A = this chain, B = another copy of it.
Amino acid sequence: MTSDTRAKMVAGAADLMSRRGVTATSMREVVRHTGTPRGSIGHHFPRGKQQLIEDALVFAGKQVSGPLEHLVQSRGAIAGLRAFIALWRQTLEKSKFQAGCPVLAVAVEQYVNDATEKDGAPDEAAQRHLLDLADGVFADWQRIMFTALRREGVAPARARRLAALVIASTEGTVAMCRAARSAQPLDDVRQELELVLSSALAKQAEVPRA
């Protein structure tokens, strides 16, 4: 149903975005990089680059949240944290620290399309929508972590804060690893995050009814 060409374009765009960023990823390079026909761009993405970015964003989000959710439900919060970090470590090392997180790229950059704005006003609605999608992906990952912590007895407010800490620090660390061309920061952060989570879980175990 969904075209194979289209899927390859979306995946390729996500990969390129994670390496070069949103603005530096051109549609021409996406088709070059994926071996897909250039003429199909307008067909599969009538709204152009904006649409391709949007699709790549939710694609990347699901690619992480799918395995993460499954693993967290079967093996708990700490295992989820380890898997989350191991996943990014794999992405970094397999690409020799070239690839990062496309969602973070959208959250850091600002995509403005010069071509479709003849009038002076930049289309800030499009940029808002991209940020909304990126925020949605982050919120989704956070929700998975939050639910796991809740299920293991952590109070709601604390679980929300811990989930935010896990997602934010991991994303930041991925960028730092890219800058350092080393996975060491990821190891350091993982170690500390495990301490934090296990201590939060232990504390709730001490006071089963309060």
Give how many A residues have a beta carbon under 8 Å from the other chain's beta carbons: 48
**A123 lies within 8 A of chain B by Cβ:** no
Main secondary structure of the interface of A (DSSP, over half): helix
Q: Which of B109, B139, B169, B171 contacts A165 (CB 8 A)?
A: B169
Decide: B20 and A22 in contact? CB cutoff 8 A: no
Closest to A134 in B: B179
Closest to A175 in B: B107
Are A164 and B188 also in contact (CB < 8 A) when A108-B108, A109-B105, A181-B131 are?
A: yes
In the assembly, what is the distance between CA of A110 and CA of B181, in Å?
13
0/1 interface trace, chain A 65-77, chain B, CB 8 Å (1 if under): 0000000000000
Among A4-12, A33-41, A191-199, the one that faces the other chain is: A191-199
Decide: B161 and A191 in contact? CB cutoff 8 A: yes
Decide: B169 and A176 in contact? CB cutoff 8 A: no
Nearest CB of B to A191, in Å: 6
In the assembly, what is the distance between CA of A112 and CA of B25, in Å?
11
Nearest CB of B to A145, in Å: 12
Are A167 and B176 also in contact (CB < 8 A) when A20-B112, A131-B181, A162-B192 are?
A: yes
In the assembly, what is the distance between CA of A164 and CA of B174, in Å?
12
Most chain B beta-carbon contacts within 10 A, residue among A104, A131, A169: A169
**A168 lies within 8 A of chain B by Cβ:** yes
Additional 6 contacts, C-beta under 8 A, given A19-B110, A20-B109, A20-B110 = A21-B110, A107-B175, A131-B180, A161-B189, A167-B172, A196-B196
Q: What 4 A-B pairs come out closest when comparing CB atoms?
A: A172-B172, A169-B169, A21-B109, A168-B172
19 inter-chain pairs at a CB distance below 8 angstroms, sorted by A residue, are A19-B110, A20-B109, A21-B22, A21-B108, A105-B108, A108-B178, A109-B109, A131-B179, A135-B180, A135-B181, A138-B179, A139-B180, A161-B188, A161-B192, A168-B175, A168-B176, A168-B189, A169-B169, A196-B196
